Amino acid sequence: EGIDSEIAKSLAAYMAVSGSLTECNLRDNNLGTEGWCAIFGALRDSPQNKIAKWELSSQDIKVKIAKSLAAYMAVSRSLSQINLSDNKLGSEGAKALAPAIRDSHSLT
């Protein structure tokens, strides 16, 4: 409700440098494709990223966001749990995520 794509871009900048954030739940907001891609892009490029748990259920995650998420997951050393239930990944989104999930050294 309170976080839109513009605020998400600012949040992404903070998340990229925060070494203390270990869990994230941004449910019930309107981040949109642009906001989610900004967050996952910033985390992908951040050596300080320590997020271990993501609650991403019911976030209207579609293909473009799934591809950005997959790029982040492919390099994350800390991500151990992720909930993607009730999204609209479709087969293309699932295909984008599959290698990142398969090759992850931290997901449990």
94: domain CATH number is 3.80.10.10
Residue 46 counted as domain residue:
yes
Residue 60 counted as domain residue:
yes
Task: Identify which of 84, 85, 87, 88 has the alpha carbon closest to the alpha carbon of residue 100.
Answer: 84
Residue 41 counted as domain residue:
yes
Report how far residue 71's alpha carbon sits from residue 99's, in angstroms, rounded to the nearest whole number. Answer: 10
Instruction: Give the count of domains, the chain.
Output: 1
* Residue 97 or 1, more confident: 97
pLDDT tens-digit series, residues 71-107:
999 999 999 999 999 999 999 999 999 999 999 989 9
Q: For the whole prediction, is pTM greater than 0.85?
A: yes
pLDDT tens-digit series, residues 7-55:
999 999 999 999 899 999 998 888 999 999 999 999 999 999 999 999 9
Residue 70 counted as domain residue:
yes
Residue 24 counted as domain residue:
yes
Find the domain containing 59 and state its range. Answer: 5-103
Instruction: Give yes or no for residue 1 having a pLDDT over 80.
Output: no
Strand arrangement of the beta sheet that strand 23-25 belongs to:
23-25, 53-55, 81-83
Residue 108 counted as domain residue:
no
